[in-house]
Amino acid sequence: MRHFHGLLTCLPVLLSACIQPGFSQCLPAGGLEFQSDIPSVASQNTMTMRRDRLDRPYLYIASKEGGLRIFNISDPAMPQSVQVIPTADLGGLQVMSLEQYGRYLYLALGNHFPGVVQSPGLAIVDVDEPEAATVTDYWVSPDFSAGGAGAVRVEGDYAYLGAMDNGLIILNIADKEQIAPVKNFKPDLDFPHGPPPPGDTAKFNARGMEVRNDTLWLCYDRGGLRVIDVRDKSAPAEVGRYCNSILTGYATAYNNIILRGNLAFIAIDYCGVEVLDVSDPGHIAQKGWWEPWTCPTNNPFVWGGSPGHANELAYDEDCELLFVATGKSDLHILSVADPTQPDSCGFFGGVDNQIGTWGVDLWKNSLFLSYIFTVIPFQSNWTGVKILTYPACAPNAVSGPGPPVDFQVFPNPASGTVRLQFTNGSRVLRIVLLDVAGRLVRSFDPENAELDMKGFPAGVYFIRAVTTNGRAVKKLLITSDP
């Protein structure tokens, strides 16, 4: 959402929320089932949350002024608060977003909303024992006194901090007790609308991102999608850019991205979700566009008056469904089985319930929605997290004219690079790594038969390959580095 979405009131929060479970014909029988609320207060606005990626029953919440909140959700109907790390332990910076990689949480710090001036920052939290989580280190930018941060991603020994109008900050996190800044990179402002008026740079914000094999895909808000080569951490270079040509000249707002193979799903605030072919970063092409809010034909009032604001995304690999936090209209569920025609096939909440979402997360068949307390660009009088569940999907069958697909993985066990060898000539469409619970851990380039497993926690995983002749799954044991 736009830089201005967080204009908050100081009125007491209203904890009563109108819940309108929407139709869900794209889900298995039973659809969405509400489990519980985790309410907050207006002075501790709930932002992003993550279900524990090691499949332990914990939920981590970026609670802005409230710091990091950790809940035990063994019983999703009765979440229990077990730990709070206050902003006082984080250099006084508010927690705006977070991600988990292995035993560590990475917190994007620094309020980026109007009226509060905070530097961008990063914290590392050890959640080896979630109920005794500890901060190993935090870093506050000495170069920027304002702007805050909106997102963080990690690959290998480096963290990438979306520092809003201060651009991208690369940090070395090899030593979890000593965060070390490496480089600040600001994409240019001339794309896609031409040079902005003098001083009008507030909407160029480094927001949602993905990083894969030293290539970073950055949603640059008004600046569209940027592709950045980060192989040399001290000299990142833009190698691709994209903006929907229909939106050129209008108020674009590229917010968040999910990569799946050669596809990227992009949340564009009041303009819905684009599906892009990113196989060639220098020539990104649109494959599909879900645009339900008459964007941009009702410009210039489209932002404040829009019934929806696409922000965070979550993807169900088996159902081939995209869950989209859509602000005033809560949650939309899109079928992306045909990426050329993303189709809204379910929703939760509604435009007129006086509450609105910021974030969404998915783990197994549990869905988590974070709501913000705000008056702009929509009115929302409740903040907290709603926990929903739905029946798990069986993996979709894939069939083709050739022989059944099979492949070998070697070495296995492995601690570094593994190689896939296929037994027939079918074209590989998707390669994903699943955890022991069968949930997506990471997607890989389907044209690359070598997969880098360095940095993954030791344990049992599964590699799923989808080809034109079917799909197959192989067990992989990842061991600790010698």
Contact 178, 140 (CB under 8 A): no
> What confidence score (pLDDT) does residue 439 get?
63
Amino acid at 234: S
> What confidence score (pLDDT) does residue 442 get?
79
Average pLDDT across each block of 10 residues of the chain; the chain has 482 residues. List them in order. 37 33 59 94 95 93 98 97 98 97 95 92 97 98 96 94 97 98 96 85 90 94 97 98 90 92 93 96 96 75 81 90 96 93 91 94 93 89 96 54 71 90 75 73 78 83 78 84 56
Left (φ > 0), alpha (ψ -120 to 50) or beta: where does 445 sit? Answer: beta
Q: What is the 3-state secondary structure (H, E, C) of the chain?
A: CCCCCCCCCCCCCCCCCCCCEEEECCCCCCCCEEEEEEECCCCCCCCCEEECCCCCCEEEEECECCCEEEEECCCCCCCEEEEEECHHHHCCCCEEEEEEECCEEEEEECCCCCCCCCCCEEEEEECCCHHHCEEEEEEECCCCCCCCCCEEEEECCEEEEECECCCEEEEECCCCCCCEEEEEECCCCCCCCCCCCCCCCCCCCECCEEEECCEEEEECECCCEEEEECCCCCCCEEEEEECCHHHCCCCCCECEEEEECCEEEEECECCCEEEEECCCCCCCEEEEEECCCCCCCCCCCHHHHCCCCECCEEEECCCCEEEEECHHHCEEEEECCCCCCCEEEEEECCCCCCCEEEEEEEECCEEEEEEECECCCCCECCCEEEEEECCCCCCCCCCCCCCCCCEEEECCCECCEEEEEECCCCCEEEEEEECCCCCEEEEECCCCCEEECCCCCCEEEEEEEEECCEEEEEEEEECCCC
Distance, CA of 291 to CA of 373 (rounded, Å): 26
Q: Strand, helix or coil at 174?
A: coil
Phi, psi of 253 (to 5 degrees): -155, 80
* Residues paired with residue 85 on neighbouring β-strands, in sequence order: 68
pTM reported for the whole predicted model: 0.82
Among residues 108, 47, 54, the alpha carbon closest in space to that of 373 is found at 47
Among residues 365, 379, 376, 272, the alpha carbon closest in space to that of 326 is found at 272
Distance, CA of 209 to CA of 219 (rounded, Å): 6
Contact 3, 202 (CB under 8 A): yes
Q: How far is CA 454 from CA 214, 286, 416, 431, 473, in A?
A: 14, 33, 5, 17, 20
Q: Which residues contact 67 (CB under 8 A, 6 or more apart)?
A: 84, 85, 86, 87, 89, 90, 94, 95
> What confidence score (pLDDT) does residue 19 get?
39
> What confidence score (pLDDT) does residue 274 get?
97
> What confidence score (pLDDT) does residue 24 get?
47
> What confidence score (pLDDT) does residue 248 get?
85
Cβ neighbour number for residue 84 with a 10 Å cutoff: 15
Q: What is the 3-state secondary structure (H, E, C) of 275-334?
A: EEECCCCCCCEEEEEECCCCCCCCCCCHHHHCCCCECCEEEECCCCEEEEECHHHCEEEE
Torsion of CA 27, 33, 35, 37, to 10 degrees: 90
